[in-house]
Chain A
């Protein structure tokens, strides 16, 4: 192509779209809390990717000589009852938390999104029945549903991901459906229909891309609770199995037992969970206000 698209746009008198960095800078200025959340999530992502580089000890190596040691130069955040380095375990725990959190959020949101898209697009009786079924799923407390699911499926990482994603489906379907309902009535959809475009193609090619804003908002909002549910399941012994270091399980019975002697056992993993959930909630709120103002305050 001789002339690039940007050049055409400039020639047509349009201002070039602001670059990604300008957009991020504007977001940070308008939503300082959201930007702080974004930074927290970025730190978590980097930690999860470079866990092997950031660790100071093997996270699963036990050391009988150094059990329940307090924070020191060698063990920055101390050691647990088996002499494992808490700092290295938290670093690796970020990977488990993020993988389970992101995977379950995406799985639940994509499945829920497809259900919401079809239900909203088809409408009528199909929509009514789908909504009632979703009501049923949503009526159960998220944690109770995840608890029962993970107990039924057995302890394994992929089962925990499935167990957490199921309660997300009805919530995702709701959000996407409501945004499909308004897009469906737009003129360009009518235009596509009058051109004889098939229904499935309209739904997936013309409507779906326009729900992406709601989808991103939905995912960041659910990520926090997914991380929290993973921590809770692992705390109760129904989550990510050994030997993966999970923040939730670091807090389980063994930690409570030694809490008096070694409070760092309880403090640090809990702070890690709180910061991760805090970060994704802050980011989710700010993104919602920016991308989907209709949902403000919901």
Chain B
């Protein structure tokens, strides 16, 4: 599966849950939302090897 976050991309093998994928790429699950085909996913959703997931940072401000 392909994971996209800002200008970074990762390729991961096999099936995984959203929450595990976020941790695996080194992010804190609290700080991102996962989108597949334009739809928001909860952290328990199982992802397939062909999925493309976009992670959206929720933090803004300064």
User: A and B, one complex?
Assistant: no
